[in-house]
Amino acid sequence: MQKNLYLNKNTLNAVIQRDDLKYDGKNLIIPSYWVGSLQDFVSAVNINSIPEADRQDLNQFKDFLFDIEEYNNQGN
């Protein structure tokens, strides 16, 4: 992957970009074609190895990825 670091002239926020992955200083921008890979990685996590306080966040992230996949598969 190639990494670019530059300043956004409009907002003066640092922006980091690696290929199609972007960070604008506030938001992570991940292309939807990464959803399947992210689901595989997140599903492989042993839920018992995560502190209980973070489990709800993990489950919400899983649900979020599932919703994206469902949206992308509409009409197929």
Same domain, residue pair 71 and 44: yes
Distance CA 21, CA 41 (A): 17
At residue 24, the pLDDT reads 87
Quick: pLDDT tens for 10-51.
Answer: 544 558 988 888 898 889 999 989 999 999 999 999 999 999
Look up tokens 């839920």; give the residue.
47
Domain extent, residue 52, equals 31-76
DSSP assignment, residue 69?
Answer: H
> Is the same domain home to 35 and 50?
yes
Alpha-carbon distance values, 36 to 1, 24, 26, 66 (Å) = 19, 23, 24, 9
Residues 39 and 23 in one domain: no
